[in-house]
């Protein structure tokens, strides 16, 4: 039996590489040799506080690209050698939500990198449909970014797009910066981003934000309004703390929308008169569906998306990669595998 390095999170703050059996494809599955796999905010959440759905240990990794090296029974042998990226959530296709096309809300979701071992390994095994062929001209580094951009594409779709709209993004982590790029690629009139960390504001400016602001400054709403020529049509909250959700609702223009994209928990106090009298819609956005990946491919290839990757660390040194990501200065850390 051949073995390979695989990253496991075994408890709070505990992440390391173990030798694990190299996966074999079951019926309908493919084995992918990893090129790049991105460390996501949700992986850091799992490292700090556990996974929202599952107990430790977890073998994470859901933002990945690579090469199909083995195919299981029932999968076209011609897929061997195909360059692919991971669509890491497999919906059942049968439940109430799947029948209505809302596969992201599926009752029986199987997550690669959560329910089943993920892509922080030299190889990973997934249902064939979860390994999507890379479009022509896409690099492996770009392909490992399609999944986070699918989150962005989904959110923007929930508000009917942002063409001609003004947008405020709260939070300058990787999803916040991806929202900035996604909104600009979707013809937003202007985007401002807020983050307390100066380096993240600097990155947002370099990626095309009209302004990047410190949310702790007094009278944020007046400053944002001055930059955008009025309150934003759409506020995208990538932090999702009680304070940022409150701030987002207060920022949005009358009739505007607040998208809650960050993963938060617990109650938040909101002024009912703002929701009702000002018709501000607060909309949760959870993951994505297959069509969001089509749009995400366009955004990734049509923008400076690769600039989000600020560090690349070999898979065997994954613990160092996690430490870099935890330190908070990086936008996106990629772990590199043998197909890179």
What are the residues binding Zn ion (CB under 5 A)?
Answer: 40, 91-92, 95, 98, 106
CB closer to Zn ion out of 147 and 195:
147
Parallel/antiparallel/unpaired status of strands 29-38 and 123-127: antiparallel
CB of 102 to Zn ion, least distance (A): 9
CB of 297 to Zn ion, least distance (A): 16
Q: Angle at the Cα of 138 (from 136 to 140), degrees rounded to 5?
A: 130
CB closer to Zn ion out of 155 and 228:
155
CB closer to Zn ion out of 40 and 165:
40
Residues 250, 274: Cα–Cα separation, whole Å = 8
Buried b (16+ CB within 10 A) or exposed e, 207-232: bbbbbbbebeeeebeebbbebbeebb
For residue 321, how far is the Cα from the chain centroid? Answer: 17
Q: What phi and psi values does residue 318 have, to the nearest 5 degrees?
A: -55, -35
CB of 27 to Zn ion, least distance (A): 20
Supply 65's token pair: 């690209």
CB of 103 to Zn ion, least distance (A): 6
Residues 150, 285: Cα–Cα separation, whole Å = 11
CB of 86 to Zn ion, least distance (A): 10
């Amino acid at each position: 039996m051949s073995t390979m390095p695989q990253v496991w999170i075994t408890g709070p703050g505990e992440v390391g590489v173990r030798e694990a059996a190299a996966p074999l494809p079951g019926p309908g599955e493919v084995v992918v040799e990893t090129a790049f796999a991105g460390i996501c905010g949700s992986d850091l959440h799992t490292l700090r506080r556990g996974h929202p759905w599952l107990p430790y240990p977890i073998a994470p990794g859901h933002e990945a690209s690579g090469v199909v090296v083995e195919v299981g029974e029932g999968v076209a042998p011609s897929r061997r050698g195909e360059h692919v990226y991971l669509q890491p959530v497999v919906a059942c296709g049968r439940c109430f939500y799947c029948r209505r096309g809302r596969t992201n809300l599926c009752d029986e979701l199987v997550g690669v990198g959560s329910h089943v071992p993920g892509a922080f390994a030299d190889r990973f095994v997934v249902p064939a449909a979860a390994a999507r062929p890379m479009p022509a001209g896409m690099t492996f580094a770009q392909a490992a970014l399609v999944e986070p951009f699918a989150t962005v594409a989904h959110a923007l779709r929930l508000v009917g797009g942002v063409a001609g709209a003004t947008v405020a993004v709260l939070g300058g982590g990787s999803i916040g910066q991806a929202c900035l790029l996604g909104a600009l690629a979707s013809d937003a009139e202007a985007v401002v981003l807020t983050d307390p960390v100066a380096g993240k504001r600097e990155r947002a400016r370099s990626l095309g934000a009209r302004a990047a602001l410190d949310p702790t400054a007094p009278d944020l709403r007046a400053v944002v309004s001055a930059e955008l020529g009025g309150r934003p049509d759409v506020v995208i909250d990538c932090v999702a703390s009680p304070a940022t959700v409150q701030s987002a609702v207060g920022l949005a223009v009358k009739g505007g929308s607040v998208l809650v994209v960050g993963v938060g928990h617990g109650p938040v106090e909101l002024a009912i008169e703002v929701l009702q009298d000002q018709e501000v819609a607060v909309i949760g956005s959870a993951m994505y569906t297959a069509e969001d990946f089509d749009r995400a491919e366009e955004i990734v290839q049509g923008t400076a998306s690769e600039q989000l990757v600020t560090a690349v660390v070999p898979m065997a040194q994954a613990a160092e990669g996690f430490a870099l990501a935890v330190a908070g200065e990086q936008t996106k850390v990629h772990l590199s595998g043998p197909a890179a």
